[in-house]
Amino acid sequence: MCGIVGYIGKSQAAPIILDGLAKLEYRGYDSAGMAIFDGEKINIEKSVGRLKVLENLTRGGATMPGFSGIGHTRWATHGVPSDVNSHPHFNKNQTIAVVHNGIIENYIPLKKKMIANGYEFVSETDTEVLAHLLDYYYKGNPLEAITKVLHRVEGSYALGILFSDHPKEIYAVRKDSPLIVGQNEDGCFIASDVPAILKYTRTVTYVDNQEVVKLSADELHFYTVDEEEIQKESVTIDWDANAAEKGGYEHFMLKEIYEQPKTVTDTISPRIKDGDIVIDELNMTDEELKAVRRIHIVACGSAYHTGVTAKYILEGLCRVPVEVDVASEFRYRNPILEEGSMVIVISQSGETADTLAALREAKSRGFKVLGIVNVVGSSIAREADSVLYTWAGPEIAVATTKAYSAQLSALYLLAMKIGKVKGTISNELFASLLEDLKKLPYQIELLLGQKEKIQKFANRYVGAKDIFFIGRGIDYAISLEGSLKLKEISYVHSEAYAAGELKHGTISLIEDGTLVVAVSTQPELYQKTISNIVEVKARGAFVMAIATEDNVAMEKAADYTIYVPETNPYFANSLAIIPLQLFGYYVAVGKGCDVDKPRNLAKSVTVE
């Protein structure tokens, strides 16, 4: 969640840190701050609110000269958003400054210990405990003090640390919260995510759990928590730097909606070879895939919704039972994993805390895990036994669009691969599915051409208080994501329901003028869904339908219909979700919401 940027080198640090923090605004935050060493002491400036406040306060960094520093955007967990609770935090003599992403779970007993030793706390945060602990253990050797602290704290953290009497060094630490370091000819960097430093370097190293990094202007040194130096390999980021910029679009979200044809193409094309599906990085033989008897899919948010879709596809095409779990529930329900089970975890960032914990839970029980992730080198990518990458590139808007589409595409490929290996898909069906899969990018382009039509309709519902989404089967999974897109960026209350459940209580919420979005892409369920539409219209609802072009009966049943091109029903989500993403986007724009940075939300949820 939060964001960390640090720099040490030949250039002024503050402008670089501000620029890096601006690239991390998508992660969600409520305050920002910087600590810069000016040659004599560490100076801190911080403020509640948007990063622009800090930029104005420091005149773009001009009032904070110095060649080393750390910066932070905070998303409040312990203590309300305020100037005093903002990061960085000082020790008592203001000689050590710390920024922190994550949560220190045992901070209360540690705080009591520090108070008993004469330390005074000025904030409500768990992070201030770290600053005082570092002070307590510091005897002139930063690495020694840091490792002693790490042996005593519990929880998740990524840290950036300055010591005033070691002005030519900054330190970075990581446990269960993402952190990278980078280097160019002018200096070294720390960051929570690649976009923060992509402008300055493409050479980065992923910091692993319980590792400490010492950065100087021209060197990186890595250590274990036992102070043993280790060697690490850097990687080259091949993202287009412009991919992390708006490129003329009003919002990142709209840009990323329009990038979906390319995202789907990039995800599926390299895996289709000579009329077959070849996933080189899957690291599983045909025999291993054939032996899969049950599949557990674990994810959060939109990734969970792709898992719900995948359940219908995998069970339908592969005839394998599938369970889909919200990651935050998976490890706490003591799941039953039987021999022959395959565990799939899905995450855009590859750092989602609950999903990562579920991966570790499955591995601790001796089960292999397949990770579907977007970020090469992320924690899930490194810890999973097999990886299926979604080549979506950087996704900046908090509300996912193109990463969601890439995850769906990856799951289609996986289902078809397993189905063919198991013999549950005939050669004729496989060839037909492959042709429909290759058409998806073009069909998404066609749907994007309808944006003006969707925008006009969305403008009618800017003032809506409640909107309901209904569907059956895969259409229910589509409804889940459509509802989430709307509520998370527009703050309009919306809910998704399996259409057959309407009569079991939900229909009492329908009144005159209520908008109901009915998704109907599954031919065997057309008539059932139309019956549900009739039910809500009888109670005053206005119905917008998302239907396939062959569903001619929908024209009479719904009040307003958006048609999507025909495709194999298993792939319908990739098309039906496009108008729903646009609908949510334009309702949010009409309300004047901060589309890319919705309130209270963060892009990468790295705490429980």
pLDDT category of residue 350 using cuts at 50, 70 and 90: confident
| Domain contains 246 | no
Mean of all residue pLDDT scores within the chain: 89
pLDDT score, position 307: 97
pLDDT tens-place string over residues 544-557 = 999 999 888 888 89
Give me the helices (H) in 390-499, please: 402-422, 427-448, 451-459, 474-490
Task: Give the pLDDT band (50/70/90) at residue 606.
Answer: very low
Q: Are residues 443 and 505 in the same domain?
A: no
Q: Helix H segments across 246-322?
A: 252-258, 260-268, 286-290, 301-318
Percent of the chain exceeding pLDDT 70 equals 95
Highest mean pLDDT among 94-103, 472-481, 506-515: 472-481
Residue 442 domain flag: yes
Is 75 in the same domain as 15? yes
Q: What is the pLDDT of residues 195-230, one digit of tens each?
A: 889 889 988 999 988 899 999 999 999 999 999 999
Q: What is the CATH number of the domain that holds 145?
A: 3.60.20.10
If one compares 449 and 102, the residue with the highest pLDDT of the two is: 449
pLDDT beyond 70 at 563: yes
The pLDDT of residue 27 is 62
Partners of residue 372 on adjacent β-strands: 346, 388
Strand order through the sheet with 560-564: 493-498, 466-471, 515-520, 542-548, 560-564
Please state the rounded mean pLDDT for residues 341-369. 90
Would residue 2 show up in a list of annotated catalytic residues for this protein? yes
Does residue 383 belong to any structural domain of this protein?
yes
pTM of the complete model = 0.78
Together in a domain, 196 and 286: no
Tallying the residues shown for the chain, one arrives at 608
Does the residue 274 lie in any domain? yes
pLDDT level of residue 517 (50, 70, 90 thresholds) = very high
User: In which band, very low, low, confident or very high, does the pLDDT at 601 lie, cut at 50, 70 and 90?
Assistant: low
Chain position carrying tokens 């250039």: 11
Q: What percentage of residues in the chain have a pLDDT greater than 90?
A: 61
Number of domains, the chain: 3
- Interatomic CA distance for residues 598 and 342, integer angstroms: 35
Asked whether residue 475 falls in the same domain as residue 587, the answer is yes
Q: What is the pLDDT of residues 386-439, one digit of tens each?
A: 999 998 888 888 889 999 999 999 999 999 999 999 999 999 999 999 999 999
Residues 437 and 347 in one domain: yes
Burial label, 368 (beta-carbon count in 10 A; 0-12, 13-18, 19+):
middle
Query: Residues 558-584: what's their mean pLDDT?
Result: 95
Confidence (pLDDT) at 75: 65
**Three-state secondary structure call for residue 3:** strand
- Residue 303 and residue 348 share a domain: yes
CA distance 135 to 113: 13
- pLDDT above 80 for 79: no
- Name the E strands within 127-228: 155-163, 170-175, 180-183, 187-191, 203-206, 211-215, 220-224
The number of beta carbons lying within 10 Å of the beta carbon of residue 453 is: 13
Task: Tell whether 227 and 259 lie within a shared domain.
Answer: no
Q: Specify the pLDDT at position 169.
A: 95
Tell me how far the alpha carbon of residue 603 is from its chain's centroid. Answer: 5
The confidence band for 86, taking pLDDT boundaries of 50, 70 and 90, is confident
521 touches 576 (CB < 8 A): yes
603 within domain boundaries: no
Q: Is the domain of 390 the same as that of 425?
A: yes
Domain membership flag for residue 602: no
Examine the pLDDT at 287 and tell me if it is beyond 50. Answer: yes
**Same domain for 439 and 502?**
no
Cα–Cα dist 170/259, whole Å: 38
Do 441 and 454 share a domain, yes or no?
Answer: no
Cα–Cα distance, 466 to 503 (Å, whole number): 18
**Residue after which a domain boundary falls, among 448, 477, 508:** 448
Residue 603 appears among annotated catalytic residues: yes
Q: Lowest-confidence range among 263-272, 361-370, 435-444?
A: 361-370
Say if residues 211 and 181 touch (Cβ distance below 8 Å): no
Q: How far is CA 250 from CA 280, 491, 596, in A?
A: 38, 19, 10
Whether residue 361 contacts residue 331, with contact meaning beta carbons closer than 8 Å, is answered with yes
For the segment 48-72, the average pLDDT, to the nearest whole number, is 91
Residues 6+ away with beta carbon under 8 Å from 273: none
Whether 593 shows a pLDDT value over 60: the answer reads: yes
Catalytic position from the list 2, 188, 300, 318? 2
8 A C-beta contact, residue 528 and residue 500: yes
Q: Is the peptide bond before 88 cis (omega within 30 degrees of 0)?
A: yes
The β-bridge relationship of strands 31-37 and 42-48 is antiparallel
Catalytic residue among 148, 175, 255, 603: 603
**How many whole angstroms separate alpha carbon 187 and alpha carbon 10?**
6
Which tokens sit at 293?
């008897």
In a domain, 604, yes or no: no
**CATH of residue 458:** 3.40.50.10490
Mean pLDDT: which of 80-94, 338-352, 425-439, 551-565 is highest?
425-439
**Per-residue pLDDT, 47:** 87
* 363 and 293 co-located in one domain: yes
The two structure tokens encoding residue 311: 């359940």
How many other C-beta atoms can be found within 10 angstroms of the C-beta atom of residue 293?
12
Whether residue 606 lies inside any domain: the answer is: no
- Name the domain boundary from 413, 448, 483: 448
Domain end, chosen from 405, 427, 448, is at 448
CB atoms within 10 A of CB 448: 17
Q: What is the average per-residue pLDDT within 343-360?
A: 90
Residue 439 sits in the same domain as residue 455: no
pLDDT in tens, 143-177: 999 999 999 998 888 999 999 999 999 999 998 78
Show the domain range for 334. 252-448
Strand partners, 517: 469, 544
Q: Between these two residues, 79 and 138, which has the higher pLDDT value?
A: 138
Predicted confidence at residue 80, as pLDDT, reads 67
